[in-house]
């Protein structure tokens, strides 16, 4: 089994990525298990933050590292919350406060279009000159009422018209297949033989 360190301490993200990678013979180890501190995410793009996180984790452990930087981009808010999705309502991180802020910021807006973005970066080493980069998007709209208890983050407010459900109402297998992270992972998996 090939080992990969996940440059994240998000248990729900770990569960999603593990479900996608385990069938391919990868053991995904969360960076916290190896004592790796979280990397700084000072950049204004998903790809730069994901690259910083992957290089940071690979440098600390000597293993290939996978990082995901993802977030919600809302049309009426000029793309916000974007790269600060996890900290939209400030510190400490709170899904509940982020969702409340999103609803408050969208009050009175008729354009509810939004999309999730996931940028995955896999660095074979800290100084990998050509990391594997894959991006996925998932389009929907923001609803005013929380629906469903699955998923995490903005999932209870992110309505997916093709299913007539929010992301939080989808079963895990469906979500892993059609979500931004699932789509990015499929692109990454196509390039994994390069490892």
Q: Which parts are annotated binding residues for Mg(2+)? A: 40, 69
Beta-ladder partners of 181: none
69 part of the active site: yes
In the sheet with 65-74, reading across from the earlier edge strand, the strands are 26-30, 2-6, 65-74, 113-123, 132-142, 158-160, 165-166
Annotated binding-site positions: 8-13, 40, 69-70, 152-155, 175, 180-181
Angle at 51 between CA 126 and CA 98, to 5 degrees: 135
Task: Point out the catalytic residue in the list 69, 144, 171, 173.
Answer: 69
Annotated binding-site positions for substrate: 8-13, 70, 152-155, 175, 180-181
CA of residue 108 relative to chain centroid, distance: 28
CB atoms within 10 A of CB 26: 20
Cα dist. 154→4, 34, 42, 99, 194 in Å?
Answer: 27, 29, 22, 6, 34
Query: Catalytic residue numbers?
Result: 69
């Amino acid at each position: 089994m090939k080992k990969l360190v996940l440059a994240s301490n998000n248990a729900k993200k770990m569960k999603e990525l593990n479900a996608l990678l385990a069938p391919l013979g990868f053991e995904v180890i969360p960076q916290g298990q190896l004592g790796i501190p979280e990397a700084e995410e000072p950049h204004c793009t998903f790809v730069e933050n994901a690259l910083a996180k992957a290089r940071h984790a690979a440098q600390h452990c000597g293993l290939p590292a996978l990082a995901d930087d993802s977030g919600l981009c809302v049309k009426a808010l000029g793309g916000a919350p974007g790269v600060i999705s996890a900290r939209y309502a400030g510190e400490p991180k709170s899904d509940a406060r982020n969702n409340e802020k999103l609803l408050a910021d969208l009050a009175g807006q008729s354009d509810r279009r939004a999309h999730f973005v996931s940028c995955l970066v896999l660095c074979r080493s800290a100084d990998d000159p050509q990391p594997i980069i894959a991006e996925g998007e998932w389009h929907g709209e923001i609803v005013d009422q929380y629906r469903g208890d699955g998923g995490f983050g903005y999932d209870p407010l992110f309505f997916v018209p093709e299913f007539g459900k929010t992301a939080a109402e989808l079963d895990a297998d469906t979500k892993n297949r059609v979500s931004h992270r699932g789509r990015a992972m499929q692109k990454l998996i196509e390039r994994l033989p390069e490892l």
